[in-house]
């Protein structure tokens, strides 16, 4: 799909991987809606790329419906969705403080997994009603997993569970939506220089980057945006999860 002139929604678009993707899509001529719970960050990005900012909790059905309605009213129906919104915690299944709090586990699942599916279903039910483009395509959906879906480390049980779920839904959703000409892919990033990572001391960042076989550094969010853009533009990419990790395989800790 040529993104030029198409409406694109990027969740978590106020920073990190989402911001880089929003900028990449806008540079190709897409009309971008930046979804984020942090509306100030979203507004800053939206202003710089000529898009709109929408405050939304991706895990809420009601907030999601309202956000999609807002986008349709201001930009038109979306044909591109990139799910980058997510949270993470570091907590073991058991510790000296006892069992992993269930509410914290549930929160990560709600945002990362349920939030991703919520955005997918709301976009797809609208996109399948659109007129097909050349080749019969109506939409493209890109999700964000993580190498933690495969190489989850100590203390990543909630995060890895949520990202493993995103990997698991990719193929069946792609199959569900194939009849409507809507493609679905997932990117599983490795160690990237996101705001969370940038908060670490430079020495720690360098040490983590050195663990990557090649290139031996942290990934730049723009490299995620490059892949997201390629998925949008390449009509044969469908139902696949692509690791974007410099060949790293995470150790237990």
Query: Which residues, 6+ apart, have CB-to-CB distance to 206 below 8 Å?
Result: none
Minimal CA–CA distance to 119: which of 168, 164, 66, 196?
66
**Are the C-beta atoms of residues 121 and 134 closer than 8 Å to each other?**
no
Catalytic choice (105, 150, 159, 224)? 159
CA angle 140, 129, 125 (to 5 degrees): 65
The rounded distance, in Å, linking the Cα atoms of 166 and 23 is 24
Distance between terminal CA atoms of the chain?
Answer: 40
224 is catalytic: no
Say which DSSP state 247 is in: T
CA angle 84, 170, 59 (to 5 degrees): 45
Catalytic residues: 159
């Amino acid at each position: 799909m040529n993104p030029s002139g198409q409406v694109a929604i990027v969740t978590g678009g106020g920073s990190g991987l989402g911001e880089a993707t929003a900028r990449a899509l806008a540079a190709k001529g897409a009309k971008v809606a930046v979804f984020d719970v942090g509306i100030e960050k979203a507004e800053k990005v939206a202003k710089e790329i000529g898009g709109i900012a929408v405050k939304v909790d991706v895990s809420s059905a009601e907030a999601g419906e309202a956000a999609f309605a807002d986008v349709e009213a201001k930009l038109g129906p979306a044909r591109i969705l990139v799910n980058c919104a997510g949270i993470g915690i570091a907590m073991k299944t058991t510790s000296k403080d006892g069992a992993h709090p269930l509410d914290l586990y549930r929160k990560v699942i709600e945002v990362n997994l349920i939030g991703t599916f919520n955005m997918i279903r709301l976009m797809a039910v609208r996109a399948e009603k659109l007129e097909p483009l050349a080749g019969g395509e109506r939409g493209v959906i890109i999700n964000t997993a993580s190498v933690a879906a495969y190489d989850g480390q100590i203390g990543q049980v909630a995060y890895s569970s949520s990202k493993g779920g995103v990997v698991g839904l990719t193929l069946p959703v792609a199959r569900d939506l194939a009849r409507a000409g809507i493609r679905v892919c997932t990117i599983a990033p490795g160690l990237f220089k996101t705001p969370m990572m940038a908060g670490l001391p430079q020495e720690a960042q360098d040490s983590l980057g050195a663990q990557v076989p090649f290139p031996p550094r942290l990934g730049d969010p723009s490299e995620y945006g490059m892949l997201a853009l390629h998925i949008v533009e390449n009509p044969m990419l469908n139902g696949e999860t692509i690791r974007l990790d410099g060949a790293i395989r995470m150790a237990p800790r």
